[in-house]
Amino acid sequence: QVHLVESGGGLVQAGGSLRLSCAASGLAASTYGMGWFRQAPGKEREFVAGITWIGRTTKYSDSVKGRFTISRDNAKNAVYLQMNSLKPEDTAVYYCAVDQVAYRGQSIDSARNVGYWGQGTQVTISS
């Protein structure tokens, strides 16, 4: 059974930083693209960042580009999201995601391509 466990969420002031981690088990995550999505209260879940299985290609939503950095450690079956210059509008539950298809050449950027979800971690940014 596949498990994705996120950690690193919390409450920080605007302008601060957080680093989210996601540890995968139950599959060879190193062969799948991984990514992060978020969902704010009353809003749909949205794409934040994605990285290909080999880690050479990343993709970001326009709202986080230049502030967030996604990375992965295939030896640890883990993906990370470094979030800098945080804004109140970044407040949401952040979800780790694994692609449906192994060895995809492009990073996931849509919930339609997600095969597995983590349980989510709350990120709250105070103004």
The pLDDT tens digits for 52-94 are 999 899 999 999 999 999 999 999 999 999 999 999 999 999 9
Q: What's residue 27's pLDDT?
A: 86
Short-list 46, 50, 45, 42, CA closest to 63: 46
Q: What's residue 73's pLDDT?
A: 95
Is the distance from CB of 87 to CB of 14 less than 8 angstroms? yes
- Please provide the average confidence, as pLDDT, over all residues in the chain: 96
Q: What's residue 30's pLDDT?
A: 86
Q: What's residue 29's pLDDT?
A: 84
Is the distance from CB of 48 to CB of 94 less than 8 angstroms? yes
Q: What's residue 55's pLDDT?
A: 87
Q: In angstroms, rounded to a whole number, what is the distance separating the alpha carbons of residues 116 and 110?
A: 13
Q: In angstroms, rounded to a whole number, what is the distance separating the alpha carbons of residues 43 and 51?
A: 24
**Looking at residues 2-29, what average pLDDT do you find?**
95
Q: What's residue 35's pLDDT?
A: 97
**Looking at residues 21-41, what average pLDDT do you find?**
94
Q: In angstroms, rounded to a whole number, what is the distance separating the alpha carbons of residues 54 and 51?
A: 8
